[in-house]
Amino acid sequence: MKSQFDNLLKVAVQWHENGLGAVIATVVETWGSAPRRVGSQLIVSGDGHMEGSVSGGCVEAAVVLEALDALKDGKTRLLEYGVSDDDAFAVGLACGGKIRVLVEPVGKQMPKKLLQELVDAIAKDQSVIYEINTKTFQSRLVYYEYNDRIRQDRSGFKDDKITFLNIYSPRLKIDIVGAVHIAQALVPMAKIAGFSPRVIDPRESFANRERFGSIEISNDFPDVALTKVEPNCRTAVVLLTHDPKLDDPALHIALRSEAFYIGALGSRKTHMQRKRRLKNAGFSEKQIDRIYAPIGLNIGAASPEEIAISILSEIIATLRVIK
């Protein structure tokens, strides 16, 4: 999920419609220790405002200048920047690296209609690829069915090294069962990291707008909520109630789903008891082993905020680390 791109592209459309002009710069290839992944984006307006980034700050100024020139002549360009090992530290890199950046002014070569269609598709959680030929700069959108086995977005070149694909997958989600103190810390962290959180708790005194603001809240029982909107391969399920009456029914749904992460709060002793209940309910050892428990990376977390950090870190590691 590229939620930060979603917001950036919306802003680019607004800048263009308001007459400011908009340019979208995208990292299309990296070598060495480039600080931003392929697909990372920066947008620039005609008056020099920018959002996002294509590096750790070391080439942004140069890209902005190229973007402003692109607005003047209306032409897309492909740029390459490199930093030697000797100079890397001065510009914020651990060691030398190179990046290639595609700079596209919204207008002729990147029609506003195409950009608006991309923004709309992302808003609808559609799986869509922005495909562009880096020789002719002709572009189009390709819609596809998301492969349940793919956990990572793999933007990059096709085999011909001419056609670049920027992949926009459905949003990454976190279903948080239990509107407890840890959840209050986890929700804003998850949003910053690009996840769309949902809090599930039938206790309205716990799960309410006063405690969680404008995010999605369900006061259904967890198994009902997870049946209405079933977790998929883009969903992490986090169980925080510490109450088997709420956690166990949610686990029954989660373990039969494609959720890429399932974590449950509780000690090792608590988890052993949980495993026995799940075995008695008919779940196999392999299914039960999907549960991360005790939840979170072992970083010695003590406070609710620290525990939330450990949980989010484990979710990201499960998502991104290829095993």
- pLDDT tens for 144-168 read 876 544 445 678 888 888 999 999 9
Parallel/antiparallel/unpaired status of strands 235-239 and 261-264: parallel
Together in a domain, 151 and 186: no
Contacts of 252 (CB under 8 A, 6+ apart): 223, 281, 283
Separation between Cα atoms, residue 19 and residue 301, nearest integer Å:
50
Q: What is the pLDDT of residues 49-95, one digit of tens each?
A: 999 988 867 788 899 999 999 999 999 999 998 765 555 445 445 55
Together in a domain, 142 and 183: no
Contacts of 288 (CB under 8 A, 6+ apart): 255, 275, 278, 279
Average model confidence (pLDDT) across the chain: 89
The tokens describing 200, both together, are 């599930």
Together in a domain, 150 and 177: no
Q: What percent of the chain has pLDDT over 70?
A: 89
Separation between Cα atoms, residue 176 and residue 247, nearest integer Å:
11
Q: How far is CA 87 from CA 59, 94, 95, 238, 264, in A?
A: 13, 10, 8, 44, 46
Q: What is the pLDDT of residues 269-292, one digit of tens each?
A: 999 999 999 999 999 999 999 999
Which residue range forms the structural domain that includes residue 89?
A: 3-168
The residue ranking higher by pLDDT, 154 or 6, is: 154
Separation between Cα atoms, residue 139 and residue 71, nearest integer Å:
18
Number of domains into which the chain is organized: 2
Together in a domain, 11 and 158: yes
Strand partners, 199: 176, 217
pTM over 0.85: no
| DSSP assignment of 36-72 | S-TT-EEEEETTS-EEE-SSSSSSHHHHHHHHHHHHH
Amino acid 95: pLDDT: 53
Together in a domain, 134 and 231: no
Amino acid 149: pLDDT: 42
Mean pLDDT of 240-253: 94
Separation between Cα atoms, residue 224 and residue 249, nearest integer Å:
9
Whether the Cβ atoms of residue 216 and residue 197 lie closer than 8 Å to each other: yes
Last residue of a domain, one of 125, 143, 168: 168
Together in a domain, 97 and 192: no
Whether the Cβ atoms of residue 293 and residue 274 lie closer than 8 Å to each other: yes
Least confident window among 74-83, 183-192, 312-321: 74-83
Whether the Cβ atoms of residue 262 and residue 290 lie closer than 8 Å to each other: yes
The tokens describing 123, both together, are 């808003």
Last residue of a domain, one of 139, 168, 197: 168
Instruction: Indicate if the pLDDT at residue 31 is higher than 70.
Output: yes
The residue ranking higher by pLDDT, 322 or 216, is: 216
Candidates 70, 77, 129; CA nearest to 101 is: 77
Give the CATH number for residue 245: 3.40.50.720
Last residue of a domain, one of 168, 186, 211: 168
Together in a domain, 54 and 196: no
Q: How many CA atoms lie within 13 A of 295 on its CB side?
A: 26
Together in a domain, 132 and 185: no
Together in a domain, 30 and 136: yes
Neighbours of 32 (CB within 10 A): 15
Amino acid 148: pLDDT: 45
Helix, strand, or coil (residue 157): strand
Separation between Cα atoms, residue 236 and residue 259, nearest integer Å:
6
Separation between Cα atoms, residue 315 and residue 211, nearest integer Å:
23
Together in a domain, 215 and 72: no
Together in a domain, 140 and 192: no
Together in a domain, 136 and 89: yes
